[in-house]
Amino acid sequence: MAYITIREYGEDSFIEKKSEFIGYAKRVENEEEAKAFVAEIKSKHKQARHNCWGYIIGENMGIQRYSDDGEPQGTAGIPILEVMKKSNITDCAVVVTRYFGGILLGAGGLTRAYTKGASIALKAGGVVEKVQGVKVSLTLEYDMIGKVQYFCGQNNWHIEDTEYTDKVIVNILAEVSVAEEIEKEAIESSNGKIIVEKSKPKLYFKEENRLYSII
């Protein structure tokens, strides 16, 4: 099963019938970190009517906890948890803060609002998959840079950075299987003139077509 989490801290908000909902999401390694994050948001919003939360921890999503924090049972914590479960997101804690605006939303309205609060927080944090990747370095002559940029663009291979010395070195972070395709394309399109080097595989976060180092 793919390991999916978020890349960084996420925060977003919206207004629903005069109530303000603020969603927060953070990647956590264990329950202590999750509880500390919930406590941090609660202390930040002491005046809020509710700070509802949910978190999932473990590669197999083995630890799952939630709280409605005074909202009607099943209208807040479970919807937050369900958003994470539907996307298979783990090692993540989400808190949705509500400042009550004086208008009751009803059970259905609350469920939709807390679902939205969790969704926008996770989106702000950037949902990523943990994958095995390598750094591919292509060393080439200056007159071949256009060709490399073209085939990278055509295949959605993200160029991380380019070094200009007596030669040009193009660096790409790619999944192991994709790295093989890049190597093949580079050698074939240059008749073997492009020199390809690959680092040892390690874990990266993958968001859309781009890999990020795990901090």
Residue spans per domain, the chain: 3-125, 131-213
pLDDT of residue 10: 95
Tokens linked to 45: 């919003």
Look at 97-106, 117-126, 156-165, 181-190 and tell me which has the smallest mean pLDDT: 97-106
Would you say residue 205 has pLDDT above 70?
A: yes
> Is the distance from CB of 198 to CB of 174 less than 8 angstroms?
no
Look at 22-26, 36-40, 199-203 and tell me which has the smallest mean pLDDT: 199-203
Tokens linked to 188: 């074939």
> Is the distance from CB of 138 to CB of 195 less than 8 angstroms?
yes
pLDDT of residue 208: 82
CA dist 152 and 150 (Å) reads 5
Task: Indicate the fold that domain 3-125 takes in CATH.
Answer: Ribosomal Protein S5; domain 2 (3.30.230)
pLDDT of residue 215: 67
Q: pLDDT tens for residues 176-187?
A: 989 999 999 999
The dihedral sign for the CA sequence 131, 137, 138, 141: positive
Beta bridge partners of 138: 170, 196
Q: pLDDT tens for residues 127-181?
A: 999 888 999 999 999 999 999 999 999 999 999 999 999 999 999 999 998 999 9
pLDDT of residue 124: 96
CA dist 116 and 168 (Å) reads 46
> Is the distance from CB of 102 to CB of 177 less than 8 angstroms?
no
CA dist 204 and 191 (Å) reads 31
103 pLDDT band, cuts 50/70/90, is confident
Check if CATH label 2.40.30.10 holds for domain 131-213: no
CA dist 70 and 49 (Å) reads 8
